[in-house]
């Protein structure tokens, strides 16, 4: 069974993601959905031992950078402060999660043991959503 819930802010998103398994959380744009999804994924499967499916190829770089910041405990405020001061961001290397954009459900990773999280669930096609939901290791998704 998959639960569908609605949140208004990052705190609610975080609480809902941790409240039950196999959940899709809908929240307004720019409310912290991707950040909370990656925090939750990193908590449960440390050091990037999970996959993130997203709706657009352009989001891969953002997701990987955000994951690195989360792993190293670097907030958006820290990033802005370092840039303003002309300093370089420093942190530990991390194993990056598998980030993918799927055209259809056939190109899901063949590794049946990798947990799957989805960013912007509504951008995924219906065949991709069905294929992901059939996987026992689908954990959570967020969407606007």
CATH number of domain containing 47 = 3.40.50
Smallest Cα–Cα separation from 111: which of 123, 96, 98? 98
Phi-psi region of 46 (alpha: psi -120 to 50; beta: other; left: phi over 0): beta
Q: Give the pLDDT of residue 76.
A: 76
Q: What is the mean pLDDT of residues 78-90?
A: 75
Q: Give the pLDDT of residue 106.
A: 67
Tally of domains within the chain: 1
Domain range for 20: 3-143
> 19 pLDDT exceeds 90?
yes
Q: Give the pLDDT of residue 35.
A: 96
Cα distance between residue 22 and residue 140, in whole Å: 5
């Amino acid at each position: 069974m998959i639960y569908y819930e609605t949140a208004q802010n990052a705190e609610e998103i975080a609480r809902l993601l941790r409240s039950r398994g196999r959940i899709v959380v809908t929240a307004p744009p720019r409310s912290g959905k991707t950040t909370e999804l990656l925090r939750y994924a990193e908590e449960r499967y440390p050091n990037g031992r999970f996959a993130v499916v997203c709706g657009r190829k352009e989001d891969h770089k953002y997701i990987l950078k955000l994951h690195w910041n989360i792993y190293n405990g670097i907030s958006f405020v820290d990033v802005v402060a370092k840039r303003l001061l002309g300093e370089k961001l420093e942190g530990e290397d991390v194993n990056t999660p598998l980030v993918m954009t799927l055209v259809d459900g056939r190109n899901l990773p063949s590794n049946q043991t990798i947990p799957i999280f989805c960013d912007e669930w509504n951008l995924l096609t219906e065949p991709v959503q069905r294929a992901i939901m059939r996987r026992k290791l689908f954990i959570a998704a967020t969407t606007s």
